[in-house]
Amino acid sequence: MSAAARPRRLLAVCLGNHCRSPLAAVVLADLGGPAVEVRSAGTREKWVGHPAHPDMVTAAAAAGYDLTAHRGVPISPALLEWADTVLPMDAGNLTALRALTDEATAGKCGLYLGDRDVPDPWGKEPDAFADVVRLIEDGAPRHLP
């Protein structure tokens, strides 16, 4: 099947696959519908198999997104190969991804917001999680067909 005949594959990446990238995946999937297939992963393995951060689940639900089924996944060469576009949430994650890419996957990576980071809400007040929801929603259209 050609790339044009299948949904566009988007991979959202953050540090732990615990806050930002799971949210980005559900937002992109919701807004993109059948035109996209979306996954998320983390550059660190601390939260592998764990649900999304409770404050992100709450902030997402307030905006109409369901993160309850999410379980953390580590980034892998197979995921990088699978994706058409890899969307790290910040410059630190972009740097970590560049260390894992090869000639075939390096050109797929670009910051989710293009010219700035999606701030990590980890350890902050619930309002920070709600702010991230808005940033990710606002940035989503640039990645959708």
Q: Which of 8, 19, 109, 120 is catalytic?
A: 120
Q: Are 31 and 144 in contact (CB under 8 A)?
A: yes
* 16 vs 109: CA distance, rounded Å: 18
Active-site annotation holds for 19: no
- Measured in whole angstroms, the distance separating CA 104 from the mean position of its chain's CA atoms is 20
Active-site annotation holds for 117: no
Q: Where are the alpha helices (DSSP H) in the chain?
A: 20-32, 54-62, 77-82, 91-98, 126-139
Q: Which of 8, 14, 19, 90 is catalytic?
A: 14
Structure tokens at 90: 């910040």
Please tell me whether residue 143 adopts helix, strand or coil conformation.
helix
Q: Which of 20, 55, 90, 109 is catalytic?
A: 20
Distance separating the N- and C-terminal Cα atoms of the chain: 18
Which residues are catalytically annotated?
A: 14, 20, 120
